[in-house]
Amino acid sequence: MPRPARGNGLVSVPGVSAEDRDLIVRASRGDVEAFSQVVRDRSGFVHRVAQRIVGPDKAQDASQEVWVRVWQRIENFRGESAFSTWLYKITVNACLDARRKDQRREARELPEEPPYLPETPTSDNDPESSALNRERREEIFESLEHVREDHRAALVLRHMEGLSYDEIAEVMDVPTGTAKGWVSRGRASMLVALSEKGRPGGDGEAGGRP
């Protein structure tokens, strides 16, 4: 059921096909059918980003919050940036809010020992060595938990989503230099956390990992 006309000034939607543009325009005018299609088309994208920023356990709640915000705000989408950038922005903000509510991280001091990772066989002929098994995936997400939320989001956007620093800056609404700094510190923090999992007495030892 369309909402009352609100005079949406959306003139173009960069980075999407004509069909998608039509859907987004209709959704921005309150057409629930069109919005439903936008949700179906992009729910994987939102869930993927949410999973990487808040972790698999909280990704569902975060994704739901994202879509609530998208519905509330899509009428204000003017097409000044790509729709994907706008969606990234809402997703990242919702995830950061979710992470801030759940502050379980402790401020860590940087250990004096260098943060090395245990060497692993990485032969190109050995698919098992390069496959991301469940244990490794858990290690990565657990290590990301120890990275400050904005650093983590920037790290995810750079090294998992493949965004440029300018794109990260636009999504996170910060100067490009800040985005670079956050990615850099996020990388270092994650390496420290990941290396501690492999050390005696580290988080990873609790489960008796070899």
Task: List interacting residues with another protein (CB under 8 A).
Answer: 1, 3-4, 30, 32, 35-36, 39-40, 43-44, 46-48, 51-52, 60, 63-64, 67-68, 70-72, 109-110, 112-117, 119-120, 122, 130, 132, 136-137, 140, 155, 159-162, 184-185, 187-188, 190-192, 194-195
Looking at the Cβ atoms of 18 and 114, the one nearer to another protein is: 114
CA pair distance 55, 62, nearest whole angstrom: 10
Local structure of residue 195 (DSSP, 8 states): H
Looking at the Cβ atoms of 116 and 205, the one nearer to another protein is: 116
Q: What minimum distance in Å lies between the beta carbon of 42 and another protein?
A: 9
The two most distant CA atoms of the chain are separated, in Å, by: 64
Look at residues 116, 177, 188 and name the one whose alpha carbon lies nearest to residue 152.
188
Looking at the Cβ atoms of 50 and 96, the one nearer to another protein is: 50
Q: Which residues contact 48 (CB under 8 A, 6 or more apart)?
A: none
Q: What minimum distance in Å lies between the beta carbon of 22 and another protein?
A: 18
Looking at the Cβ atoms of 12 and 175, the one nearer to another protein is: 175
Q: What minimum distance in Å lies between the beta carbon of 67 and another protein?
A: 3
Look at residues 150, 142, 134 and name the one whose alpha carbon lies nearest to residue 182.
150
Q: What minimum distance in Å lies between the beta carbon of 203 and another protein?
A: 16
Q: Under DSSP, is residue 2 helix (H, G, I), strand (E, B) or coil?
A: coil
Q: What minimum distance in Å lies between the beta carbon of 162 and another protein?
A: 7
CA distances from 14 to 6, 18, 21, 80, 168 (A): 22, 10, 8, 8, 17
